Amino acid sequence: LSSTFTFGNMLRYFGKNKLYLKNASVIEALSKVNTIVFDKTGTLTYISNASVDYCGVPLTRPERSYIYALAKDSAHPLSRLVKDHLLRIHTILPFAVKDFKEWPGKGTEGIIDGKKVKVGSCLFITGFADSKTNSAEVWVSIDNDVKGFYRIHNQYREGVKEMAAKLESKNYQLHILSGDNDSEKKQLHNYFP
């Protein structure tokens, strides 16, 4: 009876602190955890606060609208950042996407206004290995003409470095999952040695 009462109170306490567990038996399992795996995008970084810059051939208003139309249907967080960036600083024209295809971790493509538009990794767009920059990139091509890329600089959440140090001092093994290329590796070493 006392363990049921204790676990019920702990579930309420966790809930007040925005940690929602499936059931009380998870509390006992938590006491045995020795390894923690973080998802980088959206967990360690602010998705909406990343800065986005375009590098490449200047895009026309319709071309920016094609990219927006394709990015808005993508499930990838970087595509959503590009979509939000375009919507925030440009007037977007409405275009429908035909033959939309998405390859997780690679990119998306579709036919927009009769043109084949692709948005994704450097390898997906150019056929060459990722460029060696210190940021994530979303590359763009229209009718197989590589236009350039959107460079995304992540902003890490406050307290990440302190949290990682505290967890490491308690002998937890820490790992990070990311769909990014190695561009963020150096930055992540500042937080997770």
The whole-number pLDDT of residue 110 equals 96
The whole-model pTM stands at: 0.68
What is the widest separation between alpha-carbon atoms in the chain? 69
The whole-number pLDDT of residue 183 equals 66
The C-alpha R_g of the chain, in whole angstroms, comes to 21
**Residue in 71, 54, 52 with CA at minimum distance from that of residue 117:** 71
The whole-number pLDDT of residue 132 equals 61
Measure Cα distances from 94 to 19, 25, 55, 82, 153 in Å: 40, 50, 24, 16, 28
Collapse the DSSP code of 58 into the 3-class scheme (helix H, G, I; strand E, B; otherwise coil) and give the result: coil
Residue position matching structure tokens 């959206």: 42
Q: CA end-to-end span of the chain, whole Å?
A: 44
How many residues appear in the chain?
193
Instruction: Please name the amino acid found at residue 24.
Output: A
Q: Which residue ranges of the chain lie beneath pLDDT 70?
A: 1, 47, 130-134, 179-183
C-alpha span between 109 and 53 (Å, rounded): 21
E-assigned strands of the chain? 35-39, 45-56, 97-103, 107-112, 115-120, 136-142, 145-156, 173-177
* Averaged pLDDT of the chain: 87
